[in-house]
Amino acid sequence: MPRAGAFIHSDEIERYHYPPECPFKTERAAMTRTILHSMGLYICDNTCEMAPRPATEKELLLFHEPEYLEALRRISKGDFRADDLYRGIGTSDTPVFADLYPYAELAAGATLVGAELILSGKADFAFNPSGGYHHAFAAAAGGFCYINDVVIACKILEAKGRRVLCLDLDAHHGNGTQAAFYGDPDVFTVSFHESGKTLFPWGGFENEIGENRGFGYNVNVPLPAGTDDDTFVFAFGEIVPPLLNAYKPDVIVLEIGMDILSVDPLTHLSMTNNAIADTLPLLVKCGIPLLAVGGGGYHPEHTARGWALAWTILCGNEPDAAGTIGMGGMFLGNAEWSAGLWDGRIYATDENKIAVRSQVENTVTAIRATVFPIHRINVQ
């Protein structure tokens, strides 16, 4: 029987936008749906579109401080105060705008709809491209993020007795999510991201592995600038399958940031969406319910195409069929494709690739040496 899935989106959420000068474009979610519709890949057997709802106050308080939420509501009404800067609000990364709070609570609610569908057994997988705000802390905003939907969803799943693997593939380290579960063994956080040596939020190093009861339940795989698909897939294969087998999660919460792409203007990786196409099937085939969210991605067109590709894989469509239906396809260079969903692959063969691969191999070795023994994973 085909796996049941839900794409969380609505016309209502398309009404909201960050300021025009902000690199974060909410329009990416609608663009994803448009691409899928145009290719006949949006809704098929056993999948549906589900409308989001605003997250409730009770749900938001599972993670966020009440004073912080009140500040967000006040700011959305035009009452911005100087001390709000101490809450991380009012910078170029977290601008003040009228739709700030209603959008944040609706985008968060969309992720919670996905969690509810999985908990009820009505969906085996759900995708909210408007989610993934992993930089928000309990009482502070950061990196375009005001409400951390990822944390709240994980807490709801955890409260229902589910063991959660929170797997973050965004180019930016999910510092807010890490902080929320750093001492919690019931939510295992794993993040693949560009190294904090070269990218905001300047952390997420391999020696950050949790504390107290959560020691060994937080894994960071920092990737050097210039990391390509092959090296990413290598690291993913060395780290994720053994942890899945050892931890045996009941649910996977997956952040699919498309700022990993070589064309992204804010990051420094050399990847294409083939990195997602090469790794996501492993998660699908393991049969664990999966809640996916969007995240970063600052080249809107390529981000939307990457998420459209991710949706087709979640739905179980064959890559060749999904990527080329009705399309000829012409490679234009550096991850530019005239048709279809797949990027042209980039093959790095210079000395930089050798250096990058060596750094990633050292990181993998360090994680296997420090984290794997905690979970009785054979490192031989």
- For helices 229-247 and 351-370, the axis angle rounded to 10 degrees is 10
Q: And the tokens for 80?
A: 């911005």
- What is the C-alpha to C-alpha distance for residues 197 and 193, in angstroms, rounded to an integer? 11
User: Is 173 a residue of the active site?
Assistant: yes
- Residues recorded for the chain: 380
Distance separating alpha carbons of residues 66 and 60, to the nearest angstrom: 9
Whole-angstrom Cα distance, residue 375 to residue 222? Answer: 21
Looking at residue 262, its amino acid is S
Q: Kindly tell me the sign of the dihedral angle through the C-alpha atoms of 126, 30, 178, 81.
A: negative
CA 214, CA 324: separation in Å to the nearest integer? 44
Rounded to 5°, the CA angle 20-34-299 comes to: 40
**Largest Cα–Cα distance in the chain?**
59
Active-site hit among 134, 173, 193, 299: 173
Which residues are marked as active site?
173
